Chain A
């Protein structure tokens, strides 16, 4: 979803919930592993499944229930798990699918956020605006503008992405033929779907 700012800090996430989620993600990494890789950036995306598993399976129900409870008018449309290794970058991109414009992209950093630098571009499409997203909070990201991040720290950075969509919009557009299609052919920066 587009916002007038690059990123907004929304609410705190208790440390015990984050620790629990982190342990479950480590278990997932040791067993299933990530299913999608873009350079060094690893992901598990609900969108890659025909019948997506419950996110609770990967991060525990405490985190999922906690985040969802903060959005009483929304539904969890999709989710992603993200791992960015130390000293690696997420290539600059703009989220280009139809549903991205409706979905609030909520990011909950799990660990490894020290020295992770996030950025997006100003209206002039040239000026980078940097920001940090330390653990302990949930953030909403402006995914309609070109953004990227660089993990300059010594730890792998893990995060959980929740795509929350207003119930009315979800009902209205659930059968739209373009819902999970890329709608933009071109944009600034190097392009990837997610």
Chain B
């Protein structure tokens, strides 16, 4: 979803929750692999929730439930759409995500290991994401990412429960071109807020 910053810190998160996921991933036979979905850069490697082994799935659910328990207003009405472990790789300026679900959904990122720095030509800011915090990412602007070695992150893509039900898979996964008037001049942008 679009908002008027590149990254927003929602709140912090206990280290034991992220450590548990990292430990489960280290033991897992299933590891992130290349994927067309752009969570953190075009060439990010992804392990989706459906392919996760049980221990890893349970530990990622704990983080998700913890985040929802914080009752942040921007997550009101939102439910899980995609939950993935992502390994970002350094990229030139990434392409803007084109999936409609990326326009209407919230991308929440929790760094499990390492750190990543994200910047966008559309915002005068550079943010370094580290473990210990829950971040909301503006995935409606092109951005570039620089990562430390061994960086692993948990990415939660969440959408409104009614949209998950009524919009079809081809709507959510379909290409949505950035509209001419959409976020053209940053200062004039009206931030999309959840009012329902």
Which A positions have Cβ atoms within 8 angstroms of B?
Answer: 1-2, 101-102, 144, 169, 171-173, 175-178, 181, 183-187
Contacts and interface: CB of A to CB of B under 8 A. Distances in A.
Given A172-B196, A175-B196, A178-B104, A185 B176 contact: yes
Contact count band on B = 10 to 19
Contacts of B195: 175
Contact of B168 (A144, A177, A181): A144
B174 interface: yes
B188 interface: no
A184 B171 contact: yes
Contacts of B171: 101, 144, 183-184
A172 B162 contact: yes
B86 to A, nearest CB: 25
Given A175-B196, A178-B104, A183-B171, A1 B176 contact: no
A186 B100 CA distance: 12
Given A144-B168, A173-B196, A178-B104, A184 B162 contact: no
A101 B166 contact: yes
A101 B167 contact: yes
Given A101-B168, A184-B171, 13 more contacts: A172-B162, A173-B196, A176-B196, A177-B192, A178-B103, A183-B167, A183-B171, A183-B176, A184-B174, A184-B176, A185-B176, A185-B177, A186-B175
Interface of B: 100, 103-104, 162, 166-168, 170-171, 174-177, 179, 192, 195-196
**For the complex, would chain A's binding face be called helix, strand, loop or mixed by DSSP majority?**
loop
18 contacts: A1-B166, A2-B168, A101-B166, A101-B168, A144-B168, A144-B171, A172-B162, A173-B162, A173-B196, A175-B196, A183-B167, A183-B171, A183-B174, A183-B176, A184-B174, A184-B176, A185-B175, A186-B174
The 9 closest A-B pairs by CB, nearest first: A172-B196, A185-B175, A101-B166, A184-B174, A101-B167, A183-B100, A102-B166, A175-B195, A2-B168
A175 B168 CA distance: 21
Contacts of B167: 101, 183
Contacts of B104: 178
A102 to B, nearest CB: 5
Nearest to B190: A177
A66 B103 CA distance: 39
Contacts of B162: 102, 169, 172-173
A101 B162 CA distance: 10
A60 to B, nearest CB: 32
Contacts of A187: 170, 174
Contacts of A1: 166
Contacts of A186: 174-175
Nearest to B177: A185
Given A169-B162, A172-B162, A178-B104, A184 B170 contact: yes
